[in-house]
Amino acid sequence: MDSSLEIPGIARLVTGGGGLPRFEIATPLAEAHVYLHGAQVAHFAPAGQPPVLFMSAQSWFQPGKPIRGGVPVIFPWFGSRQGDASAPAHGFARTRAWAAESILQRADGVVVVTLRLEPDDAMRTMWNASHNWVLRHRIAIGSELSMELEIENRGTEPIQCEEALHTYFNVSDVRGVMVWGLENTEYYDKADGMRRKRQDGEPIRFTAETDRTYVNTEATCIIEDPGLHRRIMVEKRHSHSTIVWNPWIAKARAMADFGDDEWPRMVCVETGNVADNRLEIAPSARHVTETVVHCEAC
């Protein structure tokens, strides 16, 4: 392993699930795991707190397959690709090995890991071969978890894409959880034939499969979890969509890489730009989507 990618006593590159390399970071502020596969944060816990992110005990850890939990990076399309049913769901960024660009510790104790993905022939074949781009994912681990996904267009034509930080949160029991912040916002209901609806003035409560793409919202979401006496705040910048997902019973059973009984312990509140909010990035321009996750007791 490259020793410039270690901070003695703080961060090291080790062999993780399925033999895939991951950073293990432990500081007085927090501990975290970050896989090069998918640039995926797989674990984050501020000091003295239970894990903030959910990870399925049934997850695959295999090249070419997504990891079920933590924060998958979704790019360049969200869900199935329009007009191409054979394309992998949620694009290819989450199933690729990213390059580790740097790791450093700031004066305030926060550790910042930067990972990079550039197109290879397989990605060019799968998407628009004439696009030239680079993704950078900057993950800052402190008492809060901050993630910045940068898309740089290095080509000569505009790039249209969707992207998301598909954050899986660890909750005590989703049936008692409320998500605030999306009141009076419009969404596409994937659990109801993608019908466009409007959230009422109430927080989201979970009583069935929930799969909603909220559009035109930059609001901070708050996951209120009475069972863990915790509020998780999900702040974002340069993101106009928020996806809220829990598979519930039947869909959990249908997923090979997810335990049948795991659905009550997770909820996804995802930061992105999808559907009506898909991005168009001009030549030589960059787009950075940022999300910051922090917790408080309640």
Residues of the shown chain interacting with ligand BG6 in the complex, contacts defined by CB under 6 A: 66, 79, 89-90, 166, 190, 211, 243, 245, 268, 270
Shortest spacing between CB 88 and ligand BG6, in angstroms:
8
- Exposure string of 197-225, with b = 16+ CB inside 10 Å and e = fewer, is eebeeebbebeebbbbbbbebebebbbbb
| Burial class for 26, CB neighbours closer than 10 Å (0-12, 13-18, 19+) | middle
What's the full length of the chain, in residues? 298
Q: Are 76 and 91 in contact (CB under 8 A)?
A: yes
Residue nearest to ligand BG6 (CB): 89
Shortest spacing between CB 217 and ligand BG6, in angstroms:
15
Tell me if residue 166 is catalytic: yes
Which C-beta is closer to ligand BG6: that of 99 or that of 194? Answer: 194
Structure tokens at 187: 């969404």
Tell me if residue 240 is catalytic: no
Shortest spacing between CB 4 and ligand BG6, in angstroms:
33
Single out the catalytic residue among 148, 270, 287, 290: 270
Shortest spacing between CB 162 and ligand BG6, in angstroms:
11
Which C-beta is closer to ligand BG6: that of 137 or that of 141? Answer: 137
Which C-beta is closer to ligand BG6: that of 76 or that of 79? Answer: 79
- Alpha carbons 193 and 213: distance in angstroms, whole number: 12
Nearest to 74 by CA among 285, 276, 274, 280: 274
Residue 137's SS3 state is strand
Nearest to 40 by CA among 79, 73, 89: 73
Single out the catalytic residue among 166, 240, 287, 290: 166
Shortest spacing between CB 230 and ligand BG6, in angstroms:
23
Which C-beta is closer to ligand BG6: that of 40 or that of 114? Answer: 40
Which C-beta is closer to ligand BG6: that of 38 or that of 66? Answer: 66
Q: Are 76 and 89 in contact (CB under 8 A)?
A: no
Residues acting as catalytic residues: 166, 270
